[in-house]
Amino acid sequence: MAFTPKLKLTSLTLTAFRNHVSTRVQPGAALIALCGHNGAGKTNVLEAVSLLMPGRGLRGAPYEDLVNARMSDGRGWAVSAVVENDGLETRIGTAFEPRPAGEDELSPGSAASREVRIDGQVQRSAGALAGHVRILLLTPAMDRLFAGPASDRRRYLDRLAAVFDASHGTRVNALERVLRERNRLLSEDRLQARWLDSVEAQLAEAAVAVAAARNSAMAIVAGFVAQGRDGARSSTFPWAEVTVDGELERQLIERPAVQIEDEYRTLLADSRGLDRAAGRTLRGPHRSDLVVVHGPRAMEARLCSTGEQKALLLGLVLAQARAVRDTFSGAAPLLLLDEVVAHLDAVRRGALMDELLELGSQTWMTGTDRHLFEAASGEIEVFEVADGQVSASVRREQETA
């Protein structure tokens, strides 16, 4: 049985990106393992892949930080890829040029942006990347997802919603922009009621749109979580029950969006005094949280052991990947699994790779030891990474029973 991902990168090029001067990876297998010592440049490759979607990438780092610090030509970085989706090729490129010294003072505060090209055509913004490559990722930083601040879980939720709905990122940005505007107006000595009315109307519209998109993403994922719960699918990784804990999200399940929007606008107008005193907008979807419960244990994820949390996160990502695959006519999302396999015992590693092959995702994994990847019963391609260079792959193909 051949496991050929429907959506995959057939070529990835990093230029002056972090510790990579010029790196090209041309994967042929569904499972890709990047092996090498700490600091070799493995995560940097995954970060480059993550920049093929909108946003700041896997580490959320400023684009300036991605410029290869050892190359002193003052030029920026570039990442390009050939994406194949159901046999159709798209070339995606993204690049960043640091502004010459002195220009920052001319436009202080404006974050430098990256250029995006799709099939050679310069795009208006990185938002144009949405919908071209769908990616789910799992990184060591996400170990604290369940126990850490709600803002991390919101970002996680919104990133997931953006995988299902390409315009979600723009929506979230709009919500944040209008929120800042309202908070700014509230901080002025004299309240400008007319301005506030108008900004609050925009805020209510953006808030309801964001909440509704989160709900629909969760509803799709819930269907796949249910397969685990009802035993329709057996997995080594536990199923996770996920719900959005948010006022608007909850209301939207019961009543029409127009009504919720009206009510939230009224609430905003009524709470100007309170919000002004607090220095921020106290209620709305920018305060929502994601509640995750370890299904088999019936225990809130934040109360589970570290090992249980890691397994749960994997179970959740696998369910999300299946949901994405079935939403987009069988094209499973790319998965970036940074330092994930090292934490699993050999049996679970093997089970994970079997599930990944069955899923049909092109999966990019990292690990310090190539033995970690020997558990795969199917096709896996191992690349050696050392000092910002990726060596030709060693390909292993075994017949699966």
Footprint of Mg ion (CB under 5 A): 43
The least CB distance from residue 338 to Mg ion, in Å, is 6
Q: Which position among 19, 170, 202, 377 is part of the footprint of ligand ADP (CB under 6 A)?
A: 19
The least CB distance from residue 136 to ligand ADP, in Å, is 19
Q: Which position among 29, 31, 35, 40 is part of the footprint of ligand ADP (CB under 6 A)?
A: 40
Whether the Cβ atoms of residue 332 and residue 7 lie closer than 8 Å to each other: yes
Position 367 contacts ligand ADP (CB under 6 A): no
Structure-block tokens of residue 14: 């990093």
Structure-block tokens of residue 334: 């790319």
Q: Which position among 8, 23, 42, 94 is part of the footprint of ligand ADP (CB under 6 A)?
A: 42
Position 38 contacts ligand ADP (CB under 6 A): yes
∠287-293-297 over CA atoms, to 5°? 160
CA distance 332 to 35: 24
Closest CA to 133 of 357, 315, 332, 337: 332
The least CB distance from residue 39 to Mg ion, in Å, is 8
The least CB distance from residue 76 to ligand ADP, in Å, is 11
Q: Where is 172: in which H helix or E strand? A: helix 168-187
Is the four-CA dihedral 192, 193, 199, 200 of positive or negative sign? positive
Closest CA to 214 of 175, 174, 162, 166: 162
Which 166-185 positions form the footprint of ligand ADP (CB under 6 A)?
none
Residue 287 dihedral angles phi and psi, to the nearest 5°: -115, 0
Residue type (1 letter), 376: A
The least CB distance from residue 369 to ligand ADP, in Å, is 12
Position 238 contacts ligand ADP (CB under 6 A): no
Q: Which position among 8, 12, 15, 18 is part of the footprint of ligand ADP (CB under 6 A)?
A: 18
Residue 288 or 366 having the CB closest to ligand ADP: 366
Structure-block tokens of residue 149: 């601040």
Position 70 contacts ligand ADP (CB under 6 A): yes
Position 342 contacts ligand ADP (CB under 6 A): no
Using DSSP's 3-state secondary structure scheme, residue 380 falls into strand
The least CB distance from residue 56 to ligand ADP, in Å, is 14
Can you give the binding site for ligand ADP, defined by CB under 6 A? 18-19, 36, 38-44, 65-70, 366, 385
